[in-house]
């Protein structure tokens, strides 16, 4: 058996990294961009930081902003039409997972028109051609959409999210600039940071994990435990640490998959429009407890990466508990709710559980799950 790693052709990291967009556009011979960014980022001047780079070089572009926080099939279809109308030849995606996921779907459909029915992209789609080139500029430190081969689209009609996994969708260039993340409010910083932690922990314990991805995930856990609180307080060191941490987590999980924290969070997002990072953060400790007996000694290393002391002298039961407790403490410290009482409705649990069971992330969970297991997990948080 062999293992596969897919990463961006090029990535830039650090304050001021957006200035490298100009050289990338020139060296690749791009002519006109469709700039995908959500309305709030445009309103608050975040998108303008990249637009200023384009304007300075007189690069041609048009802006597409019909993007919701949980992007929909309609958003993608409208984006495809906008790309064609603009006669663009590449995309610059500015934002969190919503903007970058929308851009991925647009880029894939443009070059693989046989998949114009967006639902046909669910799962591992057998596309034949790479997406139109995407330069991804994340503005949140969490989703790592700029380095993954995954994207998530909401089917409003069926009240479900579906995961698309396609090696052809990865952006050719990632620009990971902490200055682009500096205006994130504390709540969004916390939610996206816990999303990154969920990526790192689920990626570390997933069935597909192996030595190289374990290295990425443990480093990401360590960086998040060290920097998330500071990032929420809008400290520069915290912002820079989280920008790197979420990218490193993405390098791993994109190549090995996730688990039922994400499956269950996708269901909550589809039904209640719950912010993805918040849903992940609430679910993560409870699902960690459920999965513990299928993880060998990995919780020992999670606990160490989270900064817990004297782990080497603990029993397996003890280090599994302290690993979960450390995650709970971090989540609480950054203001994440502890349960789903204000989010989910008891009568919706059967539908939520069915959606989660059929989610593309579920097979990667370290422990096989039944519908009854997922129902019980939801109920335990009510």
**Each residue of 92-109: pLDDT tens digit?**
999 999 999 999 999 999
Average pLDDT of the segment spanning 284-291: 98
Judged by DSSP in three states, 92 sits in strand
Q: Would you say residue 239 has pLDDT above 90?
A: yes
Which regions of 129-250 does DSSP assign to beta strands (E)?
134-138, 150-155, 160-165, 173-176
**Each residue of 330-361: pLDDT tens digit?**
999 999 999 999 999 999 999 999 999 999 99
**Each residue of 293-329: pLDDT tens digit?**
999 999 999 999 999 999 999 999 999 999 999 999 9
> 186-380, which class in CATH?
mainly alpha
DSSP class of residue 310?
Answer: S
Q: Would you say residue 1 has pLDDT above 90?
A: no
**Contact yes or no for 281/191 (Cβ under 8 A):** yes
Average pLDDT of the segment spanning 253-277: 95
Contacts of 192 (CB under 8 A, 6+ apart): 96, 140, 141, 142, 143, 184, 246, 277
Enumerate the domain spans of the chain.
10-181, 186-380
Average pLDDT of the segment spanning 37-49: 95
Structure tokens that stand for 198 in this block? 């969920």
pLDDT confidence of residue 323:
98
The Cα 286–Cα 381 span in angstroms is: 8
Judged by DSSP in three states, 236 sits in helix
pLDDT confidence of residue 302:
98
Percent of the chain with pLDDT over 70: 100
Band the pLDDT of 38: cuts 50, 70, 90: very high
pLDDT confidence of residue 319:
98
The Cα 31–Cα 33 span in angstroms is: 7
In this structure, which CATH number among 3.40.50.10070, 3.40.50.1970, 3.90.25.10, 3.30.390.30 belongs to the domain 10-181?
3.40.50.1970
Residue 45 Rama label (left phi>0; alpha psi -120 to 50; beta): left
Structure tokens that stand for 182 in this block? 């500096």
Structure tokens that stand for 11 in this block? 């990535």
pLDDT confidence of residue 265:
97
Decide if 10-181 and 186-380 have a common fold: no
């Amino acid at each position: 058996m062999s293992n596969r790693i897919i990463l961006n052709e090029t990535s830039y990291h650090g304050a001021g990294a957006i200035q490298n967009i100009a050289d990338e556009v020139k060296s690749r011979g791009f002519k006109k961009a469709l700039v995908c960014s959500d309305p709030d980022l445009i309103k608050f001047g975040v998108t303008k930081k990249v637009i200023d780079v384009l304007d300075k070089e007189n690069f041609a572009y048009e802006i597409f902003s019909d993007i919701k926080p949980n992007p929909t099939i309609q958003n993608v279809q409208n984006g495809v039409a906008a790309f064609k109308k603009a006669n663009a030849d590449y995309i610059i995606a500015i934002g969190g997972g919503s903007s970058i996921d929308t851009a991925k779907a647009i880029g894939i459909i443009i070059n693989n028109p046989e998949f114009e029915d967006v639902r046909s992209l669910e799962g591992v789609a057998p596309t034949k051609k790479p997406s139109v080139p995407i330069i991804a500029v994340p503005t949140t430190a969490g989703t790592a959409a700029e380095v993954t081969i995954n994207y998530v689209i909401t089917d409003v009609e069926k009240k479900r999210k579906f995961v698309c996994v396609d090696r052809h969708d990865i952006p050719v260039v990632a620009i990971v600039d902490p200055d682009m993340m500096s205006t994130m409010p504390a709540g969004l910083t916390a939610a996206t940071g816990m999303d990154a932690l969920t990526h790192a922990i689920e990626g570390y314990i997933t069935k597909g994990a192996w030595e190289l991805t374990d290295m990425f995930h443990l480093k990401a856990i360590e960086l998040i435990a060290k920097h998330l609180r500071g990032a929420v307080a809008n400290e520069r060191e915290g912002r820079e640490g989280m920008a790197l941490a979420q990218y490193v987590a993405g390098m791993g999980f994109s190549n090995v998959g996730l688990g039922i924290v994400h499956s269950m969070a996708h269901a909550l997002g589809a039904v209640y429009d719950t912010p993805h990072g918040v849903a992940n953060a609430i679910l993560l400790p409870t699902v960690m407890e459920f999965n513990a007996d299928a993880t060998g000694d990995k919780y020992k290393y999670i606990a160490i990466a989270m900064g817990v002391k004297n782990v080497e002298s603990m029993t397996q039961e003890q280090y599994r508990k302290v690993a979960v407790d450390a995650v709970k403490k971090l989540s609480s410290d950054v203001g994440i709710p502890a349960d789903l009482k204000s989010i989910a409705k008891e009568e919706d649990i059967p539908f939520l559980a069915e959606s989660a069971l059929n989610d593309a992330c579920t097979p990667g969970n370290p422990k096989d799950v039944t519908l009854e297991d997922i129902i019980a997990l939801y109920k335990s948080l009510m």
